[in-house]
């Protein structure tokens, strides 16, 4: 008898635990892994400086984020998605089909890809074409495409040093790799008519290119110890380690926050997040989060995100983003085309 009562009490307790945590103050965010460090920084700040819970951010990739975001409205779909590129027309149309019709696009800044080596070496300025020829799986030679024969930099261009080509870069699953292929490989391949005008982005697999893996500490270690190697990574990572690494200029432009923000530096990309306005009633807090993200404190001239590697937008662009959040400006198809 006693035992039965006890069991009942326990069962009731378990059920009440399962029943708590209903009202949603927590924002659900998905999207690009490139934006992730910045978004999670803002999220932490948001959680620490307000009485709301910290938003949950999941790094799903830009494409994956868009897919989840456009799955529909309501419970189980994210409120905000981050992207390291603009929304594509096809994605916008899919959103519309699934009833996600009121979206606000917010621009938050840029990121550049650095091409760097140990600072024990002399600086080595390169061009996009030279990087391409060092990295591509097949390169043009005498009008034909052949397997990449280059093992040393001076074989590509005699002005470059006689140094073995070793480039440590992000693996295919990383967003930085996507950007690298888009901004370096495809752009450069268009310069060579042997590819027939097609965008070529295959990376050699014979050892000249080394996939760096997830552990960034090891990439730095590797670059400091293996002084022949070059590394490819996000600009933020270069800033973090500028005491041991030096960046190469690309097409004569040094990667600096300024050169990336004003698009002089050839390998830079823009970052956005998208708000699902139809969740405004359900999760009103998300506008507070968005406001904090575009505030001067975060992405202003001396914003905090600058410290962790964001290339902040110009003052005008910051104001535009703030305006967009305040107005909940609705994204239209024409904006994307």
> Contacts with other proteins in 109-168 (CB under 8 A)?
137
Query: Is the CB of 198 or the CB of 327 nearer to other proteins?
Result: 198
* Minimal distance, residue 125 CB to other proteins, in Å: 26
* Minimal distance, residue 37 CB to other proteins, in Å: 8
CB 193 within 8 A of CB 126: no
* Minimal distance, residue 328 CB to other proteins, in Å: 25
| 43 contacts other proteins (rule: CB under 8 A) | yes
Q: Tell the residue number behind the tokens 């594509």, with chain if given.
A: 88
User: Which value, to the nearest 10 degrees, does the dihedral of the CA atoms of residues 285, 48, 324, 70 take?
Assistant: -60
* Minimal distance, residue 159 CB to other proteins, in Å: 27
**Contact set for other proteins, span 58-77 (CB under 8 A):** 58-64, 67, 76
Which of the ranges 94-102, 125-133, 176-184, 266-274 carries the binding residues for other proteins, by CB under 8 A? Answer: 176-184
* Minimal distance, residue 41 CB to other proteins, in Å: 5
Phi, psi of 269 (to 5 degrees): -140, 160
Query: Is the CB of 34 or the CB of 104 nearer to other proteins?
Result: 34
Q: Please list, in sequence order, all residues whose beta carbon lies within 8 angstroms of the beta carbon of residue 274, skipping any fewer than 6 positions away.
A: 69, 80, 81, 83, 87, 103, 104, 105, 106, 331
* Minimal distance, residue 252 CB to other proteins, in Å: 28
Number of residues that bind other proteins (CB under 8 A): 78
| Contact with other proteins (CB under 8 A) among 8, 96, 159, 323 | 8
CB 227 within 8 A of CB 165: no
Q: Please list, in sequence order, all residues whose beta carbon lies within 8 angstroms of the beta carbon of residue 155, skipping any fewer than 6 positions away.
A: 149
For residue 182, how many other CB atoms are within 10 A of its CB? 16
* Minimal distance, residue 247 CB to other proteins, in Å: 16
54: helix, strand or coil: coil
Query: Is the CB of 67 or the CB of 328 nearer to other proteins?
Result: 67
Query: Is the CB of 308 or the CB of 333 nearer to other proteins?
Result: 308
| Contact with other proteins (CB under 8 A) among 74, 123, 161, 171 | 171
Of the candidates 128, 140, 147, 114, the residue with the CA atom closest to the CA atom of residue 246? 114
**Contact set for other proteins, span 263-292 (CB under 8 A):** none
Work out the angle at residue 330's Cα, subtended by the Cα atoms of residues 56 and 78, and round it to the nearest 5 degrees: 20
CB 156 within 8 A of CB 133: yes
Query: Is the CB of 127 or the CB of 241 nearer to other proteins?
Result: 241
Which of the ranges 119-127, 199-207, 245-253, 316-324 carries the binding residues for other proteins, by CB under 8 A? Answer: 199-207
* Minimal distance, residue 262 CB to other proteins, in Å: 25
CA distance 205 to 213: 15
**Contact set for other proteins, span 297-316 (CB under 8 A):** 308
**Contact set for other proteins, span 238-267 (CB under 8 A):** 240-241, 243
| 94 contacts other proteins (rule: CB under 8 A) | no
**Contact set for other proteins, span 202-231 (CB under 8 A):** 202-203, 205, 207, 209-218, 220-222, 225-226
CA distance 246 to 210: 19
Q: Where are the alpha helices (DSSP H) in 33-163?
A: 36-49, 62-69, 89-97, 128-135, 153-156
| 29 contacts other proteins (rule: CB under 8 A) | no
For residue 9, how many other CB atoms are within 10 A of its CB? 10
Q: What is the DSSP secondary structure assignment for residue 74, as one 8-state letter?
A: S
Query: Is the CB of 49 or the CB of 142 nearer to other proteins?
Result: 49
């Amino acid at each position: 008898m006693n035992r039965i009562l006890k069991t009942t009490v326990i069962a009731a307790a378990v059920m009440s635990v399962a029943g708590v945590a209903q009202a949603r103050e927590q924002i659900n965010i998905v999207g690009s892994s490139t934006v992730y460090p910045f978004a999670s920084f803002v999220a932490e700040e948001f959680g620490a400086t307000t009485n709301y819970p910290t938003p949950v951010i999941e790094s799903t990739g830009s494409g994956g984020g868009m897919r989840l975001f456009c799955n529909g409205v309501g419970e189980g779909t994210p409120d905000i998605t981050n992207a390291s590129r603009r929304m594509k027309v096809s994605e916008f149309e899919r959103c519309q089909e699934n009833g996600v019709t009121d979206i606000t696009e917010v621009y938050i800044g840029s990121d550049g890809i650095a091409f760097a080596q140990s600072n024990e070496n002399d600086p080595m300025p390169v061009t996009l074409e030279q990087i391409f020829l060092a990295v591509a799986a097949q390169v043009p030679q005498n009008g034909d495409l052949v397997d990449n024969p280059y093992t040393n930099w001076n074989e590509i261009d005699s002005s470059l040093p006689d140094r073995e080509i070793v480039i440590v870069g992000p693996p295919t699953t990383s967003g930085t790799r996507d950007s690298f292929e888009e901004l370096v490989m495809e752009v450069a391949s268009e310069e060579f008519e042997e590819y027939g005008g097609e965008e070529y982005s295959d990376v050699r697999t014979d050892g000249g290119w080394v996939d760096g893996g997830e552990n960034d500490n090891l990439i730095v270690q590797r670059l400091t110890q293996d002084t022949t190697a070059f590394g490819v990574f996000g600009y933020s990572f270069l800033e973090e380690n500028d005491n041991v690494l030096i960046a190469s200029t690309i097409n004569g432009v040094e990667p600096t926050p300024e050169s990336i923000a004003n698009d002089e530096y050839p390998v830079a990309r823009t970052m956005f997040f998208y708000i699902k306005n139809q969740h405004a009633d359900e999760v009103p807090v998300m506008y507070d989060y968005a406001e904090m993200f575009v505030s001067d404190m975060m992405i202003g001239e001396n914003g905090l995100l600058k410290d962790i590697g964001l290339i902040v937008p110009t003052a005008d662009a910051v104001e535009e983003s703030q305006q967009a959040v305040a107005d909940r400006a609705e994204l239209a198809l024409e904006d994307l085309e």
